[in-house]
Chains A and B, each alone.
Chain A
Amino acid sequence: MNNFWTLAGFEFKKIFRRKTFPAAILICLGIMAAAVFSSLSGGSFHHSVGRDISKYEAMKLDKEVILTNRGYITPQLISRAILSNREMISNKDNYFVNEYGSHLKEDAYIRYILPYEPVVELINKVYAEDLDCLAMDALSLEYMGEDKAVDRLGPETAEDFDSALKSFARAMALREEGLSQAEVEKNLELIDSIETPLYNDYFGGYEAYIMSSKSLALTVLFLILLLLSPVFSNEYEEKTDQVILCTKNGKGSLCRAKLFVSLVVSLLSAVLVMGLSWLALLLLYGFEGGKVNIQVVNPGCSYPLTLLEACCIHFISVVFASVLFGAFIAFMSARVKRSTAPVVVMGTLLTIIPMFIWIPLKSSGFMYELLKFFPVNSVTFDFDRSFVEIFGMLFTPYKFIWTLSAILIIVFSLLAVRSFKRHQPG
Chain B
Amino acid sequence: MELRIDRVSKQYKNKLAVDRVSLELHEGVYGLLGENGAGKTSLIRMVCGVLRPSSGSISFDGLDVGDEEYRAVLGYLPQDFGYYPEFSAQDFMYYMASLKGLNKARARARTRELLELVSLSDVAKKKIKTFSGGMKQRLGIAQTLLNDPKLLVLDEPTAGLDPKERIRFRNLISRLGRDRIVLLSTHIVSDVEHIAGTILLMKEGRLLQKGSLEEVTQVIQGKVYELTACAERAEELARSYVVINYRSEGEKVFLRFVCEGQPPEEAAAAPAGLEDLYLYYFSEAKGHE
Binding site for B on A (CB under 8 A): 2-3, 6-7, 10, 13-14, 17-18, 238-252, 254, 422, 424-425
Contact = CB atoms under 8 A, between A and B. Distances in A.
Interface in B69-124: 71-72, 74, 76, 78, 80-84, 86-87, 91, 94-96, 98-104
Contact of B101 (A2, A241, A244): A2
A242 B99 contact: no
A331 B81 CA distance: 23
A247 B82 contact: no
A338 to B, nearest CB: 12
Contacts of A425: 45, 50-51
A249 B100 contact: yes
A246 B76 contact: yes
Interface in B47-63: 48-52
A396 to B, nearest CB: 44
A233 B95 CA distance: 18
Contacts, number: 87
Contact of A246 (B52, B71, B95, B101): B71
Nearest to B73: A248
B236 interface: no
A250 B95 CA distance: 11
B84 A239 contact: no
B86 A242 contact: no
B18 to A, nearest CB: 14
B143 interface: yes
A242 to B, nearest CB: 4
Interface string B146-189: 01000000000000000000000000000000000000000000
Contacts of B45: 242, 425
A2 B100 CA distance: 9
> Across chains A and B, which 5 residue pairs bring their CB atoms closest together, nearest first?
A238-B82, A17-B86, A247-B99, A239-B82, A3-B98
A6 B98 contact: yes
Contacts of A13: 87, 91
Given A248-B68, A424-B52, A425-B51, A243 B76 contact: yes
A424 B96 CA distance: 19
Contact of B84 (A14, A242, A249, A424): A14
Given A7-B99, A10-B94, A248-B147, 9 more contacts: A6-B94, A7-B95, A17-B84, A17-B86, A242-B50, A246-B49, A246-B74, A247-B99, A247-B101
A314 to B, nearest CB: 37
Given A248-B71, A248-B147, A242 B76 contact: yes
Given A239-B81, A240-B81, A245 B50 contact: yes
B129 to A, nearest CB: 11
A247 B81 CA distance: 14
Contacts of A2: 101
A242 B100 contact: no
A313 to B, nearest CB: 40
Contact of B81 (A17, A243, A248, A249): A243
A7 B48 CA distance: 21
10 contacts: A3-B99, A10-B95, A13-B91, A18-B86, A243-B78, A243-B143, A247-B96, A248-B72, A252-B68, A424-B50
Contacts of A14: 84, 86
B101 A242 contact: no
A241 B48 CA distance: 12
A125 B94 CA distance: 66
Contacts of B76: 242-243, 246
Contact of B99 (A18, A238, A239, A254): A254
B177 to A, nearest CB: 20
Given A240-B83, A241-B50, A243-B143, A248 B78 contact: no
A242 B102 CA distance: 19
B82 A7 contact: no
B82 A240 contact: yes
Contacts of B96: 243, 247
Contacts of A7: 95, 98-99
A238 to B, nearest CB: 4
Interface string B259-287: 00000000000000000000000000000
Contacts of B143: 243
Contacts of B82: 238-240
Given A239-B80, A240-B84, A425-B45, A247 B100 contact: yes
B71 A250 contact: yes
B80 A248 contact: no
Contacts of A6: 94, 98, 104
Contacts of B100: 247-249
A245 B49 contact: yes
A324 B86 CA distance: 29
Nearest to A250: B99
A238 B129 CA distance: 13
Nearest to A422: B52
Nearest to B153: A246
Contacts of B50: 241-242, 245-246, 424-425
A17 B100 CA distance: 23
Contact of B98 (A18, A249, A424): A249
A245 B49 CA distance: 8
B32 to A, nearest CB: 17
A327 B162 CA distance: 46
Nearest to B99: A247
Q: Which of B45, B76, B82 has the most CB of A within 10 A?
A: B82
Given A10-B98, A242-B45, A247 B84 contact: no
B99 A248 contact: yes
